[in-house]
Structure 1
Amino acid sequence: MLKRAKRIVVKVGSQLLSGAEGLNLEFIDELSRQVAKLREAGREVILVSSGAVLAGIKALGLNRKPFSLAEKQALSAVGQPYLMAEYRRAFNRFGLEVAQVLLTAEDLRSKERFLNAKNTFEALLKFGVVPVVNENDTVSVEEIKIGDNDNLSAHVAVLTDADLLVMLTVSNGIYDKDPRSNPDAKLVPVVERPEELFSSCDFSCKTSFGTGGMGTKVEAASKAAKKGIPVIVAGGKEPDVLLRIVSGERVGTLFLPSKKLRAKTYRILYLMKPKGRLYVDEGAKRAVVEQGMSLLSKGVKRFEGQFEKGDAVEVCTLDGSVIGKGIVKCSSESLYDSKVCIHRDDFVLTGD
């Protein structure tokens, strides 16, 4: 499965990119060498790279993470050119050009923008360019924020129909507890049910510069795996880690693909932020859950929030238990003037 992977998304965390005097240029050089080797072997590589805020912190001589969204946006704006300049320098040594791709959640939620971004990636890869992706922190607000590059990498893997997602981190994989403070921590080599890790492993620790932690990696890996994409979380400082992974060597933690969700289902579940809640009676619940029918407005007994046609909402029982998520065919103001509230093709069962 790994040997056959032609298109690979590689996510690089902030800690790997952090050096004593700013960006870790030695790591960037080594990463570019391995990617160049993959390209020589006929594989396509897309990088999802943290490090812009870190580069901005170092450039301005700060010794702390940003306190606010505005500070993060400012530091990202300062650091992004530094980060891209170093990637361009490193990849140019092997005759490869890089492209900066900045995304927000809104770019992925909208079907039109999703397809446009997909076409842009296809064109870049056709030109032989290595796309370097980051969240567009400079313009992101809470409403359109993805939040961490672990989840961004999963979304990019889905967007580009990748064959493999590799998350490189300072840890050599997923452990049952933090190996830095627990010498008896055990590596989890293969994961079939990611949700079970949250009850059996301790993911409370975060890195000093990173946005997420191992918990967000498991969350992101679960999303990609449900779209049929295998995921590996591995140590970025391991020698030739990318080359060893694609050779089939057991490295890090492998998340096995479980099923292949439709693109629309993936967007509804993981990209569209619910703008409200619909509370339905037992008859409506049976119709959508057991019979796979559309949700009629007469089955909605009350609602919360304000939404427009095309927005996502959660569907709940009268006691508040979430049963699904869907795209409404009407606004909150015209809810009871429409016969069909959510078409069956736009509804996904979730459960609590």
Structure 2
Amino acid sequence: MREARRIVVKVGSSSLTTASGGLDADRVDALVDVLAKVRGQGVPRAGSAEGGDTGRNGGRNGASEREIVLVSSGAIAAGLAPLGLRRRPRDLARQQAAASVGQGLLVARYTASFARYGVRVGQVLLTSDDMSRRAHHRNASRTLDKLLAMGAFPIVNENDTVATDEIRFGDNDRLAALVAHLVRADLLVLLSDVDGVYDGDPGKPGTSRIAEVRGPADLAHVEIGSAGKAGVGTGGMVTKVEAARIAAAAGIPVVLTSAIHAADALGGQDTGTYFHPTGRRSADRLLWLQHASTPQGALTLDDGAVRAVVHGRKSLLPAGIAGVEGDFSAGDPVELRDGEGRAVARGLVNFDAKEIPLLIGRSTRELARDLGPAYEREVVHRDDLVVLHP
């Protein structure tokens, strides 16, 4: 953790605002104090000697400056008090109105706070659509990389003003995991109002903090709580644990703790719950395909195709399709389901939905003979496919 050079930090609404809505300037400043200090500390370069010259990317003694991307919730919560709302509204229109007012206040507060350290802030607003469309995904990656290279401090939030389903995205937790993969982060730190994952209700005696999670089995018998007590966010421990699992599966270690312990978490101290990496970094398109894409339809597979795709990691051929649902185009993400309707995989389809009925149960050789050589190919290629339930 102390050697992490590029870090994504996510902070929840309850850690930045009052329970009645509105930003808590002291909380924002306290978080910025920690982030600015850690950013300027630097990480020793491999083979560097003590007392070396200042490196190109900052840092003394041959150290490279740490790069931090902040994923910050709080726009809707910040807009409650200015609009005279006593609590987070349930209807979408007022949520979007609150986000419109609150996002400006949020970034203005961050801008003023970071200015105390001479640091320029860059705002990046994303939606799930930006993470699932490959062109948008690449553009977001380039923007964040360039902001970091130019010394700016990127602050990412969901574009709640125009979002629909994205407002229920999990209080930015899943977005933070995807951003961590997007920027090739060395560490993800999730900050909330709870100082880690507990083996029971943390408010009751006899429960204890789980210091490390090495895999899903470590939490198999733990009941994870939902939304926090502050009532201004939408996430809760469930979404944070899921975000940690997404990042860990992509090879990124995760620390989950409270905002008041941010300095300890970023300093490598024993705080919160540490999720060990459980997998390796995968291609960007596969991560967004599994965790950010919205399936536009579904293909039902016969038993042989399920075995080939799930266990054999093979491409899906027309002969293995038993049914089709939805109205999708070639290149769209679709679910691959078994005979019981369970989604076992997700992939990018090579045909329009209206073409699939012509292909069902037929071999590629037969299709090429009857329909032309363009049909002698996979319906979903294994390189554009992720297994959801092995």
Name the CA distance, whole Å, in 2 between partners of 1:72 and 1:198.
35
Shift of 1:47: 0.8
> Structure 1, unaligned stretches of length 5 or more?
none
5 Å matches for 1:49-198?
Answer: 49-142=72-165, 146-180=169-203, 182-194=204-216, 197=219
Determine if the alignment matches structure 1 residue 313 to structure 2 residue 313.
no
Shift of 1:51: 1.0
Name the CA distance, whole Å, in 1 between partners of 2:296 and 2:314.
22
Shift of 1:144: 9.3
Deviations 1:187-237 (A, max 9, x none): 111011246525422324533111110000000110011111111111112
Aligned pair partner of 1:237 in 240, 260, 277: 260
Aligned match of 1:11: 10
> CA distance change for structure 1 residues 345 and 321 in 2, over 3 Å: closer, same or farther?
same
Aligned match of 2:50: none
Name the CA distance, whole Å, in 2 between partners of 1:289 and 1:16.
41
Q: 2:141 corresponds to which letter in structure 1?
A: K
Q: 2:117 corresponds to which letter in structure 1?
A: F
Contact conserved, 1:105 with 1:144, CA < 8 A, in 2? Answer: no
Contact conserved, 1:10 with 1:46, CA < 8 A, in 2? Answer: yes
Structure 1 stretch 247-256 or stretch 15-24: which is displaced more? 15-24
Contact conserved, 2:257 with 2:265, CA < 8 A, in 1? Answer: no
Q: 1:36 corresponds to which letter in structure 2?
A: A
Determine if the alignment matches structure 1 residue 22 to structure 2 residue 22.
yes
Shift of 1:148: 2.5
Aligned match of 1:299: 320
TM-score scaled by length of structure 2: 0.84
Shift of 1:273: 1.3
**3-state SS, counterpart of residue 379 of structure 2:** strand
Pick the structure with more strand per residue.
Answer: 1
Aligned match of 2:352: 331
> CA distance change for structure 1 residues 112 and 179 in 2, over 3 Å: closer, same or farther?
same
Name the CA distance, whole Å, in 1 between partners of 2:313 and 2:88.
47
Aligned match of 1:251: 271
Name the CA distance, whole Å, in 2 between partners of 1:143 and 1:135.
7
Deviations 1:84-136 (A, max 9, x none): 11111110001011111100111111111111110100110111111111100
Q: 1:55 corresponds to which letter in structure 2?
A: A
Name the CA distance, whole Å, in 2 between partners of 1:54 and 1:62.
10
Deviations 1:32-59 (A, max 9, x none): 1111111211211111111111111011
Name the CA distance, whole Å, in 2 between partners of 1:17 and 1:46.
17
Name the CA distance, whole Å, in 2 between partners of 1:146 and 1:18.
19
* Cα RMSD after superposing both structures: 1.9
**3-state SS, counterpart of residue 289 of structure 2:** helix
> CA distance change for structure 1 residues 318 and 118 in 2, over 3 Å: closer, same or farther?
same
Aligned match of 2:367: none
Aligned pair partner of 2:310 in 289, 301, 310: 289
**3-state SS, counterpart of residue 307 of structure 1:** coil
- Percent of aligned positions that are identical: 41
Name the CA distance, whole Å, in 1 between partners of 2:382 and 2:329.
18
> CA distance change for structure 1 residues 147 and 200 in 2, over 3 Å: closer, same or farther?
closer
Aligned match of 2:60: none
TM-score scaled by length of structure 1: 0.93
Contact conserved, 2:7 with 2:69, CA < 8 A, in 1? Answer: yes
Q: 2:268 corresponds to which letter in structure 1?
A: G
Name the CA distance, whole Å, in 1 between partners of 2:168 and 2:134.
17
Name the CA distance, whole Å, in 1 between partners of 2:97 and 2:279.
40
**3-state SS, counterpart of residue 47 of structure 1:** strand
Structure 1 stretch 111-120 or stretch 285-294: which is displaced more? 285-294
Q: 2:144 corresponds to which letter in structure 1?
A: F
Contact conserved, 1:178 with 1:205, CA < 8 A, in 2? Answer: no
Aligned match of 2:45: none
